[in-house]
A and B are shown apart, each in its own frame.
Chain A
Amino acid sequence: MFEKLSTLALQEYWWFIISLLGGLFLFLTFVQGGQSKIWSVRNEEQKDLLINAIGRKWELTFTTLVLFGGALFAAFALFYAVSFGGAYGLWMAILFSFIIQAVAYEYRKKPGNFLGQKSYEAFLLINGTVGIFLLGVAISTFFTGAAFKLDDMKHLSWLGSARGLEALANPFSILFGMMFIFLARTLADLYFIFIIEDEEIVAKMRKALRVDFGLFLVFFVAVAAMLLTKDGVGYDAKGFYIEHYKYLHNFLAMPAVLVAFLAGVVLLVAGVVVNFAKVCRRCFWLAAVGVVLVGLSLLLVAGYNHTAYYPSTADLASSLTIQNSSGSRNTLITMSYVSLMVPFVVAYIAYVWRLMDRKPLDEDEVEHDVMSY
């Protein structure tokens, strides 16, 4: 089946999968958003309730991030080598925040936990703010690129002064990171409204939603404006070139992607705004679908339509595209067959999610469950 596709079609197919994973990850960052809000409630019981609500989902976010990395390694190994090897400081900081997250839920309230409850809660906060901000900065480099060179043997020379942390001096990247933080917090507000059976918490989250979503909108509009007016790196048979308004052109050249992006924005806004007027538990899912569509379309715009998805600001010819950085045709075909499992995986996740979340979570359940965090 996949053997009949051209190599370019296979590369596009794999970029689509990476983009979809990116969109799903973006949605699942409601876990990080929730971690940044655990001190916003009145007492310890309510804090436990918030932590147990997101604590039942944190591994999905973690796993999606790992798969995002694994899929990039398999399908676009050169990006894996260049970005992770080059932006060493940035990625290590991100990974560090996920290491401390992984133990925080389980160890937080266990007797004899050595570091104390507050330390583990601080770990959750660091991951939910600094970690997600840095991840946003890292993702923004799909548009800003980085200063690197590749020789004929694809050996990497990184020219950035701070091994990736130099992106923190780029206003676009900072806005992107901030947008990530407030999107995660907005989604967390919606998830808490969806899953928690506690009027006080729900009221508090509806109130917080106005602030979180308002700030998200500010950063989102700024990022969108900068992106649509931004130069990008295009390529053709002759080589690479700078193209003004590259990402705007990409949206216009790919109407389906533009429609997905706009539909995503509308769904997200709708999911939030309805909650301003009344409690709407299921609006979480409207916003979720919206965020997946926005994340998907942004990454498609970064890599499709003959665009360098990881431009080199030091040597244009070293820029990475889905064509020059991909795995071999044989590997892409093999992996494409493996990708047929993805709908099955999504189906069982959806089934289990539905089963586990069909009844809201309350303080009583958290208090009496011996396995509670």
Chain B
Amino acid sequence: MNIDMSLVDWSRAQFALTAIYHFLFVPLTLGLSFIVAIMETVYVTTGDEKWKEVTLFWMKLFGINFAIGLATGIIMEFEFGTNWANYSWFVGDIFGAPLAIEGIMAFFLESTFFAVMFFGWKRVSKKFHLLSTWLVAIGSNLSALWILVANGWMQHPVGMHFNPETARSEMVNFWDVIFNPNAVNKFLHTISAGYITSAIFVVAISSYFLLKSQKLQDFAKRSILVAASFGLITSGYNILTGDSSAFTIVHDQPVKLAAMEGLYKGKKGADIVAFGILNPEKEVGDKKEEFLVSVSIPRALSILGYHKLDAYIPGLDDLVFGNEKLGIESAASKIEKGKKAVAALKAFKEAKKANDMPKAKAALEEFRKYEKYMGYGYLNDPKEIVPNVPITFYSFHTMVGLGLWFFVLMVVMLYKAMTGTLSASKTWLKLALYSLPLGFLANELGWIVAEVGRQPWAVQDLLPVKIATTHISTTSVMITFFMFAFIFTLLLIAEVRIMATQIKLKAQGGHNV
């Protein structure tokens, strides 16, 4: 098979572009929908009109964000077909199901009750309106569940087998796909990250109001009370789910884990790097030091991965070159077996076409012997299994650092809101305001860790990205890449400006506009 690497890279770039843009808006939708629902619940239960004012303002910002999330979301679903046709056929039997369920279960819930949430204030009862707001929040989060089930399957394919007759992977157990530990952890970690981002969003903008407007003191304090409580609970939970996510990665994606930790040489009682600067000259297999500077937590990685002080964590050198003593197979050996699987599959298809059944049977037996290495058969160099280490390492560590900061911020803001000392704490209000972009940054970094860290695979160990693309001209993809880059950037600028204007108008007038 001829592979045009420039086509692969442009297809990758286009998907990364749309995913990065889409993932700017999704986390806010996930969390803000619940924050608004909580605020409206307080309004409906207390009948206090001030809570309605709070609800309406944040609902308006939710709507502005929701629209652009839809705009960037539609292209992502269809891009699996347009740019990843081979992928769509190879895994469509498994991957398509969660996407369709997402449509049936989540999208209709969101879109139907969204209209009530925004335009139903005078058309339905208070209680039905509240129910609609909650259903929009549930729908948004169900949508995340199904897409992350699909993504979790790509990280750790389960519940399937490869059918040589149809040349694709087919689902054998739906429940295995849904309850894939990788998917469950990914879902819980991702949504809780979205909740924190939303909490920071509300706390940051409310802090701005406290700094700028005397009229909005009450409005801002109410908003912070809800958002900081929500943010504190979810950031604590996010730290726990981060731990579970790392545990599954240790077992399912050891190469990704090694890249996340910059671990080249495996060791017993492996440390976690709390802070480090990678040696830029370091490559897999050489003797150079891994870090220029580092501060580590002793044995923490072994504890995290195996809950044992002296568990062995393989490094990139082990995973690329193998480690006979520990029974770790080299990538070269896997590639060799993979090529045998690919050749046997081809022989099987040819024999079937020629109606040569004995030959087909023999080829199929050979294929089954090496089947689990098939994905490796499309690789040429053992080092291809290593993702970009600096991007994965720095993204991971920055994300973790930000996650810890968010926890501290939420504790302080909630404490100050409850003790009535918030307005006097100008420094903390400014820190909260400046943290606004950090929530979005942390989400993007998490996404980069998940997706860059699993390269070169589209489906872990089964399908390399370079085999998954649609065979079209690179120019076609370049054109659509720039087209999307242009329109998404325009729309992002529009969204930010609209939000900023709404916030400024609120700060000036004190009423919803």
Contacts and interface: CB of A to CB of B under 8 A. Distances in A.
Nearest to A156: B85
B382 interface: no
B92 A77 contact: yes
Interface string B489-510: 0110111011011100100000
A77 B122 contact: no
Interface string A330-373: 11001100110110010011001001101100000100011110
B471 A155 contact: yes
Nearest to A365: B122
Nearest to A369: B119
Contact of A84 (B78, B100, B104, B105): B78
Nearest to A77: B92
Interface in A289-348: 327-328, 330-331, 334-335, 338-339, 341-342, 345, 348
Given A69-B78, A96-B483, A154-B89, A59 B97 contact: no
Contacts of A67: 100, 103-104, 107-108
Interface stretch (A85-93, A184-192, A196-204, A278-286): A85-93
A115 B93 contact: no
A66 B102 CA distance: 10
Given A103-B68, A338-B100, A331 B94 contact: yes
A73 B91 CA distance: 10
* B100, B349, B500 — most chain A CB neighbours (10 Å): B100
A66 B76 CA distance: 11
Nearest to B163: A328
A75 B401 CA distance: 43
B112 A328 contact: no
Contacts, number: 263
B349 A356 contact: no
Given A85-B472, A158-B472, A356-B123, A99 B71 contact: yes
B93 A331 contact: yes
Given A70-B96, A77-B96, A59 B85 contact: no
A126 B71 CA distance: 15
Interface in A86-135: 86, 88-89, 91-92, 95-96, 98-100, 102-103, 105-107, 110-115
Contacts of B482: none
A56 B83 CA distance: 32
A70 B121 CA distance: 32
A331 B472 contact: no
A88 B476 contact: yes
B407 interface: no
Nearest to A348: B112
Given A154-B167, A158-B472, A335 B78 contact: no
B174 to A, nearest CB: 5
Nearest to B1: A155
A116 B95 CA distance: 40
A70 B98 CA distance: 9
Given A153-B167, A158-B472, A352 B111 contact: no
> Which one of B78, B80, B166, B476 has the highest number of Cβ atoms from chain A below 10 Å of its Cβ?
B78
- Please classify how large the interface on chain B is, using the bins under 10, 10 to 19, 20 to 34, 35 or more: 35 or more
Contacts of B170: 327-328, 330-331
A342 B108 CA distance: 10
A74 interface: yes
Interface string B61-100: 0011011101110110110111111101100111111011
B219 to A, nearest CB: 15
A341 B96 CA distance: 17
Scoring A73, A158, A352 by chain B CB atoms within 10 A of each residue's CB, the highest score goes to A73
A86 B110 CA distance: 31
Contacts of B111: 59-60, 62-63
State the main secondary structure of chain A at its contact with B: helix
B104 A356 contact: no
Given A112-B501, A335-B97, A356-B123, A84 B85 contact: yes
A107 B64 contact: yes
A342 B84 CA distance: 29
B101 interface: yes
Contacts of B353: 152
A369 B121 contact: yes
A371 B501 contact: no
Contacts of A100: 71, 487
B349 A77 contact: no
Contact of A89 (B59, B83, B476, B497): B476
A78 interface: yes
Interface centre among B80, B83, B121, B122 (most CB of A within 10 A): B80
Residue in A102, A111, A369 with the greatest tally of chain B CB atoms within 10 Å: A102
B383 interface: no
B263 interface: no
B416 interface: no
Given A84-B81, A328-B170, A106 B472 contact: no
Nearest to B494: A114
A80 interface: yes
B94 A56 contact: no
Contacts of B63: 106, 371
Interface in A26-69: 52, 56-57, 59-60, 62-63, 65-67, 69
Contacts of B68: 102-103
B96 A75 contact: yes
A62 B69 CA distance: 13
Interface in B288-327: none
A157 B56 CA distance: 52
Contact of A103 (B105, B472, B494, B505): B494
A89 to B, nearest CB: 7
Interface string B373-387: 000000000000000
A85 B497 contact: no
6 contacts: A71-B103, A88-B82, A110-B501, A154-B89, A330-B174, A371-B60
Interface of A: 52, 56-57, 59-60, 62-63, 65-67, 69-71, 73-75, 77-78, 80-86, 88-89, 91-92, 95-96, 98-100, 102-103, 105-107, 110-115, 152-158, 163, 327-328, 330-331, 334-335, 338-339, 341-342, 345, 348-349, 352, 355-356, 358-359, 365, 369-372
In the A-B complex, list the 8 residue pairs whose CB atoms are closest, starting with the nearest.
A77-B92, A84-B81, A85-B85, A112-B501, A67-B103, A74-B96, A73-B96, A59-B111
Given A70-B77, A352-B115, 19 more contacts: A56-B119, A59-B115, A67-B107, A73-B96, A80-B96, A81-B86, A81-B89, A88-B476, A102-B71, A112-B497, A113-B498, A114-B493, A156-B85, A158-B472, A331-B96, A341-B105, A355-B116, A370-B56, A371-B59
